[in-house]
Structure formats: C-alpha cells, structure tokens
C-alpha cells in the first residue's frame, strides 16, 4: 500500500507540474499577444489623435452660440436685411436671409439651390462658410450664380457677413466658376458679373422663430 501511495503522489506531482507548465505557457502567450496588440495599436491611436487635432484645427475656435439666431444689417439703400442661422446637426448650419412679413406672417424666401434643400454652412477655421450654385440668389433668373458665403464672429458680438461670387451670362454659363473676391460690389468682365457684398450684422435674437419688429413689412 505504501508503494502505491508513493506512486500516486509522484503521479499527482507530475500532473500538477504539467498543468502548471501549461498555465505558465498560456500566461506568457497571452501576455505576448497583449503586448503585440498594444504595439500595433499605437500607430492607430496616433492616427486617430492626429485626425482629431486636424479636425479641431480646421474648425478653429468655433463657438456656435456666437452665430445661432436672427441678425440684421442695412444694405447700400438703407433697407434692413434679416439673416437667420439655425443648427441642423453638428457641423451643419442652415442659413436663410431676406425675411419679410406679409399680413402678419413671416416669410423666408429660399433661393433655388442646385443639389441641396437650401443654403447650408459649415465651420472652418473659426468661421461659417458655404459654397453653392443657384439660379436666383441675386434675384436674376436664368443665369448661373456661383455663390460663396463667409460669416465670422467679431469680439464685439457682431458678425462680419460676406457674400461673393459670379453670375455667368450667355455662353459663359457652361463653365461658370467663382472668381476672386473684389472690392467693388458689382463689376462685369465679358459674360461674367462679379459680386462682393460685405456687411456688419447685429444680433436681434437667439430665438430663430421670434417675431421680431425688425423684420420688414411687405
């Protein structure tokens, strides 16, 4: 019996040693896999970090609260022009202008925009910008309008509003591209009319649905 007991103990020791050896090997293998995964993930983490930094850099110090709401400015003929900036979702802002009242109702005439349901702006380098093709943005029909909108918040709480672009006439319609921003409001070169309008807008309300007395009656 004693020999059997000793043999049993030796066998148990061998089995335990074998199990422990497998446990150690498995642990080392898992550690090696974890280490390899961490090393491989480092470039991915760096890439994501660079991408996030790039996005933040492209948006600059953009604070949407400085833009959302109703705004007004006066054009060259001293008529009040109403602007509206509302949030659609993160990074997408709807822009409307030229609101007026008729029989107590507020209307926002929307220009015809190619391949879009309206004028949309996005943040870039701390500003709101937008580019679109229209056929009646400047109230002239049957011509191609390449329009650029740039809106920038000022430290005094106002907005710098700039609309620029080109109206292409006749044969120029098929290859109409935006031109450089010019100092003159309207200037014609051949079959193209270049337009630049710059204004300082004052905030009326943070509520884009407010029935403001500043909205002109028609």
The pTM (predicted TM-score) of the whole model is: 0.67
Residue predicted with more confidence, 56 or 126: 126
Q: DSSP strand E in the chain: where?
A: 69-74, 80-89, 92-97, 100-102, 105-107, 119-124, 127-134, 144-153, 159-168, 186-189, 192-205
Question: How many angstroms separate the CA atoms of 9 and 52, rounded?
Answer: 62
pLDDT tens string 22-62? 544 555 544 443 444 554 445 445 444 444 444 443 446 78
Most distant CA atoms of the chain, gap in Å: 117
Strand-pair partners of 137: none
pLDDT tens string 133-152? 998 888 766 688 899 999 99
Task: Give the pLDDT score at 191.
Answer: 79
User: What is the rounded average pLDDT for all residues in the chain?
Assistant: 76
Mean pLDDT of 80-93: 95
Query: Do the strands 119-124 and 127-134 form a parallel or antiparallel pair, or are they unpaired?
Result: antiparallel
Question: How many angstroms separate the CA atoms of 110 and 130, rounded?
Answer: 15
């Amino acid at each position: 019996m004693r020999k059997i007991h000793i043999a049993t103990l030796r066998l148990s020791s061998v089995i335990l040693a074998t199990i422990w050896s497998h446990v150690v090997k498995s642990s080392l293998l898992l550690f090696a896999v974890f280490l390899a995964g961490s090393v491989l993930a480092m470039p991915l983490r760096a890439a994501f970090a660079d991408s996030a930094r790039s996005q933040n850099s492209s948006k600059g110090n953009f604070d949407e609260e400085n833009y959302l709401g109703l705004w007004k400015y006066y054009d060259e003929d001293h008529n009040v022009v109403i602007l509206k900036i509302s949030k659609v979702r993160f990074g997408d802002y709807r822009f409307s202008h030229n609101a007026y009242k008729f029989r107590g109702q507020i209307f926002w005439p929307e220009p015809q925009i190619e391949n879009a349901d309206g004028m949309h702006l996005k943040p870039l380098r701390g500003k709101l910008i937008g580019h679109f093709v229209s056929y009646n943005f400047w109230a002239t029909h049957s011509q191609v309008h390449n329009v650029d909108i740039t809106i920038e918040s000022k430290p005094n709480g106002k907005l710098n509003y700039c609309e620029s672009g080109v109206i292409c006439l006749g044969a120029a319609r098929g290859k109409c591209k935006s031109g450089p921003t010019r100092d003159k409001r309207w200037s014609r070169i051949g079959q193209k009319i270049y337009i630049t309008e710059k204004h300082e807008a004052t905030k009326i309300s943070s509520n884009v649905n407010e029935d403001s007395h500043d909205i002109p009656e028609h």
